Structure 1
């Protein structure tokens, strides 16, 4: 429940952004800060959640995160200005960032190795289905109530989860609170590095990338602080995040794979409803409905994949998942002007199904040989890479769509020149239809030109979305060879940690 709330909030706001912009009196671009601020804070705290868990004790830190996430969700719903909303979304992302690594390390400590695959399967339903169902729930709440309810919906779940954790969960001895000094330098470098890189990615297209002094500044600060943070964490005696987890080959490979999966997962969850609303003219609810069947497919496939993990090497399952994903994305890159709702649902089903072959096997592979004392640090880094690269993919997919539109608009511009016979014939035909419907001749001519321009923009958008799907497909295909860098996973009844 805790993981589901947190992951849900990464996408539930997407379809409500036009309504938020209208209600708070700001532009759509400014309203996207409601999404970006959450992702920035989330990515930063994920890197230090292991240290916070050791400092406060895992159970206490987990309860603090759940209760404060619930409170800040309520405050987001009460916001009356964009500034208030951004501040509370920052706080919501900060406290929400600790939920995923905590619940993952709890699974690793509580369940024996032969049961971890099943436990990861249950948690995967929340982690994967959350971003899928977010736009559906957000669209329905926005259309039927108001955008405020995309935040209020967390409150009852948060209260129930806090009570259950308080009454049931107990920390193992190595997760009890223990004194440790505050690593001010490490926290500062990580916060500045990840925060500035995310801001650069999110605002780069609007500010014309490196033509803007602001973007150059964000890039310099972001990358220099990130490199400095890595050096500091490697040399510090008591680092807030032990990068030694990456010495484990399976964990290192699994982290790269889950980062690629996160990029595809979050980018797809944003692109599909965006296409439905901006190009097809769907309502927020109908746009969200495109993603719901995909969530159902994942839930149905995860038990099958759990059984398959006992018979087939994890590397082959993961490689198949990425191959399946690449094929589905290439198939989805065939959008055309007559694209139907049913075809879009089928595309999203094909995009969602491979996730069942990726999340649980990748999680199991990553923690298969990692020592118990590194579970908290591994969980924090694993979740951070997935979410942070996912947030980067959201920003760059939006920028990629804008760039692709401009490119295809220039390329197709000559095809719409008025001296072309086909264009003159098109305008004449529309003109005649408009006059037949009662338009005055001058108005009919203007309508015909406007109709031609609208069709032109739709064609440009179709090509842009197709191109982004192709890029995501190539990303999925490129990581297939990386699957075989990991050591072979255990088969049924295998003794290795984290496997089935």
Structure 2
């Protein structure tokens, strides 16, 4: 029956009308045992740790820099090393899952992640920290796609929407919680606590997964035909691309010889990787999964969701710190609104997914997130908590209405033997969307600030009555200073205000651009084929 269902799915993706996929009653009514629930719960905690650690050091880099005696430019590698390694391993996780089995791979990955967390806490200088963080990202990245594959192989169709929502909460809330938790631990304990906090949960996750989760068997014969050239091309392509995206803004992009070198390396590695993986009989990463139209479009939506999720996580804390002068704990009170409303939306998205066309649900989620981003673009320098609250609430509420149908449309219609590989590609697209979104936003932010500052400076000239009146008012407030000093102080204060206003205007431009991207993504909706409820949630069996 499994082969028959897979065949029908393939035929359906080539046709124009949806087709109901029949499955055996044994598969459709399969009950998940208590031990399997325990094992899957352990996996959820493991994935939460891996995603959390992507951003947990973001608000504590200054303290880590002081602890390791590093420079401001060098300390960025603590973040970059993790992200580069994670992006490299994610597409390889499908092949590793088939070769080692989900159980062996997850236990090995979580054990390695836990050990590297301890090593990060014990790091004695920057090079050692960068190496340990890269290995931590490598092991952490191997855990993330595994859980998506398990959803569509362990659980019956009736449970898959609810489980997808649960995992979606973990994947999208954890990056938001990372900087908040990191800032709190650093201020109350030490930056080493960022890594030591993983030790006990990591050991429990390893134990729970090893004892209670057995859903597939290793295919050891795959280890006899490892495509080392394919792995090398993937590492060169994705590693170089991630480096360019992470370091491009700081190094002035192609003004830097280092960026030019890695960009050329990424291009060459990409061409070699695509040629190798598309022509080899047994590739490490099966790119032919993109022949399934729903999977291909689902990955495009996953890319866009990554842009929205990670770019917003980047823009709002930067704005609150730079314009409002808030610390990490205060910033956490702002950004936690997104996670709170995302949690609330799970109670609406789950029931609606059973009665609403997934395409309509996804379109509503994308439009709602775009609306929230656009609302964010009306900020002023005096905007307080409630001016941020409602846009954040709308965005958070929209996330589940995006994540649930995207993962269902992309992975739910694939035959079981393709889910592990496809899950890696699906998650890779979200991470690449985030990396590219942050890189572009960072570059545009610098450009927009310069443009707005130049325009504002033109209006604040010696011949402007408003400017002269403002300077005179500032000088009056500084009456205790000698005349030349009071004039300089007034001009300096005015310059700070102009820079601040330029930053506000640049942030508003970026929020509006982000909203426009989500509105424009609705143009892809006609490419998504309608999927019946059984097909959407049962393709993985």
Q: TM-score, normalised by structure 2?
A: 0.88
- Residue 446 of structure 1 corresponds to which residue in structure 2? 488
User: In 2, Cα distance between the equivalents of 1:467 and 1:40?
Assistant: 29
Shift of 1:22: 3.6
1:140 aligns with one of 174, 184, 192: 184
Contact 2:415 2:539 in 1 (8 A): no
**After the TM superposition, which segments of 4 or more aligned residues of structure 1 sit over 4 Å from their partners?**
493-496
Q: Structure 1 pair 21/345, CA: closer, same or farther in 2 (3 Å)?
A: farther
- Residue 122 of structure 1 corresponds to which residue in structure 2? 166
User: In 2, Cα distance between the equivalents of 1:346 and 1:156?
Assistant: 37
1:238 aligns with one of 262, 266, 282: 282
Contact 2:93 2:145 in 1 (8 A): yes
Shift of 1:108: 1.4
1:475 aligns with one of 506, 514, 517: 517
1:378 aligns with 2:419: no
1:497 aligns with 2:541: no
Deviations 1:410-467 (A, max 9, x none): 22221222332222221111111121xx334343222211111111110011011111
- Residue 37 of structure 2 corresponds to which residue in structure 1? none
Shift of 1:487: 1.4
Contact 1:114 1:495 in 2 (8 A): no
Q: Structure 1 pair 406/25, CA: closer, same or farther in 2 (3 Å)?
A: farther
User: In 2, Cα distance between the equivalents of 1:458 and 1:246?
Assistant: 46
1:458 aligns with 2:500: yes
- Residue 38 of structure 2 corresponds to which residue in structure 1? none
- Residue 394 of structure 1 corresponds to which residue in structure 2? 438
Q: Structure 1 pair 159/406, CA: closer, same or farther in 2 (3 Å)?
A: same
1:307 aligns with 2:351: yes
1:274 aligns with 2:318: yes
- Residue 376 of structure 2 corresponds to which residue in structure 1? 332
Which structure 2 residues correspond to residues 134-283 of structure 1 after superposition, within 5 A?
Answer: 134-173=178-217, 175-180=218-223, 181-283=225-327
User: In 1, Cα distance between the equivalents of 2:291 and 2:459?
Assistant: 56
Contact 2:154 2:215 in 1 (8 A): no
Deviations 1:17-61 (A, max 9, x none): 233334333344432222221111111101111112222222111
User: In 2, Cα distance between the equivalents of 1:161 and 1:289?
Assistant: 29
- Residue 79 of structure 1 corresponds to which residue in structure 2? 123
- Residue 414 of structure 1 corresponds to which residue in structure 2? 458
Shift of 1:496: 5.5
Shift of 1:498: 5.2
User: In 2, Cα distance between the equivalents of 1:496 and 1:56?
Assistant: 26
User: In 2, Cα distance between the equivalents of 1:128 and 1:208?
Assistant: 30
What RMSD, in angstroms, separates the aligned Cα atoms of the two structures?
1.8
Shift of 1:495: 7.4
Contact 2:152 2:538 in 1 (8 A): no
Shift of 1:388: 2.4
Shift of 1:224: 2.1
Q: Structure 1 pair 495/333, CA: closer, same or farther in 2 (3 Å)?
A: closer
Shift of 1:135: 1.8
Q: Structure 1 pair 309/176, CA: closer, same or farther in 2 (3 Å)?
A: same
Q: Structure 1 pair 191/347, CA: closer, same or farther in 2 (3 Å)?
A: same
Aligned residues: 495
Shift of 1:311: 0.9
- Residue 75 of structure 2 corresponds to which residue in structure 1? 31
User: In 1, Cα distance between the equivalents of 2:189 and 2:307?
Assistant: 31
- Residue 530 of structure 2 corresponds to which residue in structure 1? 488
Contact 2:253 2:259 in 1 (8 A): yes
Deviations 1:380-435 (A, max 9, x none): 11111111221222222222211211222222221222332222221111111121
Shift of 1:117: 1.1
User: In 1, Cα distance between the equivalents of 2:124 and 2:493?
Assistant: 39
Q: Structure 1 pair 350/31, CA: closer, same or farther in 2 (3 Å)?
A: farther
Q: Structure 1 pair 146/279, CA: closer, same or farther in 2 (3 Å)?
A: farther
Q: Structure 1 pair 395/74, CA: closer, same or farther in 2 (3 Å)?
A: farther
- Residue 12 of structure 1 corresponds to which residue in structure 2? 56
User: In 2, Cα distance between the equivalents of 1:462 and 1:110?
Assistant: 48
Shift of 1:346: 2.7
Contact 2:309 2:434 in 1 (8 A): yes
5+ residue gaps, structure 1: none
